[in-house]
Amino acid sequence: MTRTQVGIIGAGPAGLLLSYLLHAEGVDAVVLETRSRAYVEKRVRAGVCEHPTVELLREIGVGTRMDAEGLPHHGFSLRFDGQDHRIALTELTGKSITVYGQQEIVKDLIAAHEAKGYPIHFEVTDVELHDVDTENPRVTYRDADGVARTLECDAIAGCDGFHGVSRPTIPADRITTFDREYPFAWLGVLAQTPPSHEELIYAHHERGFALHSMRSPEITRLYLQVPSDEKIENWSDDRIWSELDVRLTTNAHDFVLREGPILDKGITPMRSFVTEPMQYGRLFLAGDAAHIVPPTGAKGMNLAVADVRVLSRALVELLQHKRGELAESYSDICLRRVWRAEHFSWYMTSMLHVDPAADDFGRRLQLSQLRYTASSRAAATSIAENYVGLPFA
């Protein structure tokens, strides 16, 4: 049996960042992760860092490699009607985003923990949370050697994702969930080829949505809208490249899709999900454990960062200064941002994807919105403001 102030379940960006922020304020924390270190450092996820996320990572001293290797972007392209329309993020907002893979942030945070001796326990099993509605919650688990252990805490942070153990620990009658599944999915590929464009491209095409993104000057990330029940076996590499070329090419034929070896491919369902409240007793949910957004708005990881920034301050106030007001308000504060991000992600998804159930009326409304967004500075500014990230609460 061991003791810490905060037990953190999950070594993704949310759990690792929370641990680092707490230790910086003198609050002890222990991170428990069911996967291996190699797995979490290689797990390819989000790649767009909002302006507030970038500023926070710099502020706490873990942004050095991001600044050296990340790709600052000052705009992105909307493509529809065979035309390219640029949303000038920096011109419209004075801010930018940085393309830097989530797994790279995880690597940086693990290295920072290692340098300072902050504890992370990988490959734990049989994780269970107990007494979370008391002031002395605890976590039981088996360590990497199979030894049964108990971690006594003052608070627990559930940062273990949508399928983790934290949210199901809360009694069903104490939370409300909001859920929406979309009738399409994303087929994503990671390709060993330089990006075909210097910025992200969001393309609306009659055959479906496509996204051109990147992870580095040598690695490109690309997505195609496919049916929600599609099988990856139906998509050969040649078919993927052919369909990307069709959906991304403009009438001006000034875009050349660079092809290369596909390193990884998979299909991701699209859904929106929110848990209210994001806390129960001394258990606080953060990141995907509390909410899921469609990836179209690039909000998932950034919401997790925003959550733990609030949570770290709330736990410092609670555990260091014995003031519980901020901890009690944690869910309300975070949910304001969560629902704004949910709306923006739904808006981008519905504007850019082809709904298989839509009639001609719906499709013309969709094109009207795209044309207005591309021609109105006010509409473009609204998208840019949400895309670069609203200020932290």
User: Known catalytic residues?
Assistant: 73, 202, 295, 299, 387
Contacts of residue 126, Cβ cutoff 8 Å, sequence gap at least 6: 140, 141, 142, 148
Number of CB atoms found within 10 A of residue 332's CB: 13
Alpha-carbon span 97 to 117, nearest angstrom: 31
Alpha-carbon span 140 to 215, nearest angstrom: 38
Alpha-carbon span 311 to 284, nearest angstrom: 8
Alpha-carbon span 209 to 353, nearest angstrom: 5
Cβ atoms of residues 47 and 213 within 8 Å:
yes
**How does strand 120-121 pair with strand 71-73?**
unpaired
128: helix, coil or strand?
Answer: strand
Cβ atoms of residues 297 and 345 within 8 Å:
yes
Q: Is 30 exposed, middle or buried (0-12, 13-18, 19+ CB in 10 A)?
A: buried
Cβ atoms of residues 188 and 223 within 8 Å:
yes
Alpha-carbon span 311 to 318, nearest angstrom: 10
What are the residue ranges of helices labelled H in 159-299?
166-169, 237-248
Cβ atoms of residues 150 and 140 within 8 Å:
yes
Alpha-carbon span 336 to 310, nearest angstrom: 12
Cβ atoms of residues 292 and 162 within 8 Å:
yes
